[in-house]
Structure 1
Amino acid sequence: MQAGVPAAMRSAGYMLRSGGGVPVDKKQAAEWYLKAAQSGELWVMNDLGLMYQRGQGLPVNPVQAARWFRRAAVWYDRGAQAGDPTAMYSLGRLARDGRGLPHDERVATRWFKQAAENGQRDAMLELTRRYERGLGVPQDSAQAQAWRVRAATN
């Protein structure tokens, strides 16, 4: 496969990383993700951070992992400001996990809530857990149930 459209490079990397129709090859997946990111494909940056963090197809490298997480956060923020609920959800995950952003449960919850209010189902499920456990919000079983129902009917 030759370099081409960044989204196609991302797809090739995803298939190789997950085994979607081809044998799993995380090293080759990382190569395609790097090509995609260097060609402007935004959605692989977080995955590259995870691969560097976990040593999946790349050597464990916390500095490179942090670099890719920060780059992902910048692009997710731009998407979130433009109203993209998936970008909002992704920012929530970065803040929740302390990857590319400082660990902050309240900030994470704020992004998850914005994403959920814009129809992002995974964010609704995350809000359910947050209200059940009191993460970034006061514990509230009624709110947890409301988000659970909304996620189930979305």
Structure 2
Amino acid sequence: MMFKTGGAAAFAVAWLGLATAAFAGTAEGRAALQAGDFATALRELGAAARAGDPQAQNLYGTMLKDGAGGAPDKTAAAAWYRRAAEAGDAEAQVNLGYMLFHGDGVPRDRQAGLGWYERAAEQGHAAAQFNAARVYWDGDGVPRDPQKAMKLFAAAAAAGLPEAQFSYGVALLAQPRPDAPQAFNWFSRAARQGEAPAYAKLAAMYLLGQGVGKDPVAAQTWALLGEAAGDPLAKQLREKLEADLTPQQSAAARQQAAAFVPVRERE
């Protein structure tokens, strides 16, 4: 998945947990990234990339794309992503797919971008599954295919990707025969991971008893969280509920909202 550089620490954290390096220099480059030493990371990862390590090629490509340690070079980044992607590196396949699909530093080619998403999705890469699902759901440059999108959303959601869990819930409600209980389940999982768009969905479902029993306190809890995240629908729901709740219920909802701490299902 593409990411934007947010300082040395943010850049380094994005790459924690990668597999043990197969080529000399990759481990050293990773360690340098974690330490924020971009000059060393560029040197070590560049050497490992030129030696043919797909993981190093992907990391090196991302450093070049984001300008970590120098000026951004998206053309070179795409070339390194392609080498790693053709060697089967799923992360590089997603990164190359993103650049092609969005024309980010390379000529836009949505068909080719989708093709790389799908190759990574076949390897079980959750972000690739989600990206491809959105393309098929929206019909963005390809014929719309809700069934294929649903399968991909489901796979990414099951892997724990919160944005996929939210989107899968939306898709379940948009079916000719909506599945509200399953949608509620996926909105719940997404919300508990901190996926803010899911908060208002849960608030509305608890308010209406859609897919779950009516619970005005739970509805207000999620409405408060959604409003705090800047969701105008959540604000409307909070105002509506506030007029109907007892002071005790209102206090309980505020206490629960204040105590809420998102917990990620996956790193």
TM-score range, shorter chain: 0.5 to 0.7
Match of 1:73, SS state, is: helix
Contact kept, 8 Å, 2:96 with 2:116, in 1: the verdict is no
1:6 to partner: Cα distance = 0.3
Contact kept, 8 Å, 1:45 with 1:71, in 2: the verdict is yes
TM-score, length basis structure 1: 0.66
Contact kept, 8 Å, 2:130 with 2:152, in 1: the verdict is yes
Contact kept, 8 Å, 2:101 with 2:113, in 1: the verdict is no
Partner of 1:112: 153
| Distance in structure 1 (CA, Å) of the matches to 2:106 and 2:183 | 39
Paired letter, 1:37: A
Paired letter, 1:41: D
Q: RCO higher in 1 or 2 (8 Å CA, sep ≥ 6)?
A: 1
Unaligned runs of 5+ in 2: 1-45, 193-264
Q: What number of residue pairs does the alignment pair up?
A: 145
1:137 to partner: Cα distance = 5.8
Partner of 2:105: 57
Paired letter, 1:146: N
Partner of 1:25: 73
TM-score, length basis structure 2: 0.43
1:104 to partner: Cα distance = 0.8
1:30 to partner: Cα distance = 1.0
| Distance in structure 1 (CA, Å) of the matches to 2:66 and 2:128 | 22
| Distance in structure 2 (CA, Å) of the matches to 1:89 and 1:33 | 20
Q: Which moved more, 1:33-42 or 1:84-93?
A: 84-93
1:67-110 per-position Cα deviation (integer Å, ceiling 9, x unaligned): 45325424523x34xxx655644552453355797531222123
Residue 16, structure 1, aligned to residue 81, structure 2: no
Q: How does 1:72-111 map to 2 (within 5 A)?
A: 72-77=117-122, 79-80=123-124, 88-98=129-139, 102-111=143-152
Partner of 1:43: 91
1:22 to partner: Cα distance = 5.0
Contact kept, 8 Å, 2:99 with 2:113, in 1: the verdict is no
Contact kept, 8 Å, 1:70 with 1:100, in 2: the verdict is no
Q: Match for 1:123 among 160, 164, 167?
A: 164
Paired letter, 2:162: R
Partner of 1:150: 189
1:49 to partner: Cα distance = 3.4
Match of 1:56, SS state, is: coil
| Distance in structure 2 (CA, Å) of the matches to 1:145 and 1:21 | 45
Q: CA RMSD in A?
A: 3.4
Contact kept, 8 Å, 2:117 with 2:128, in 1: the verdict is no
Residue 70, structure 1, aligned to residue 115, structure 2: yes
Q: Which has the larger radius of gyration?
A: 2
Unaligned runs of 5+ in 1: none
Contact kept, 8 Å, 1:9 with 1:32, in 2: the verdict is yes
Sequence identity (%): 30
Contact kept, 8 Å, 2:117 with 2:129, in 1: the verdict is no
1:87-138 per-position Cα deviation (integer Å, ceiling 9, x unaligned): 6445524533557975312221232123323433232121233346x2x564
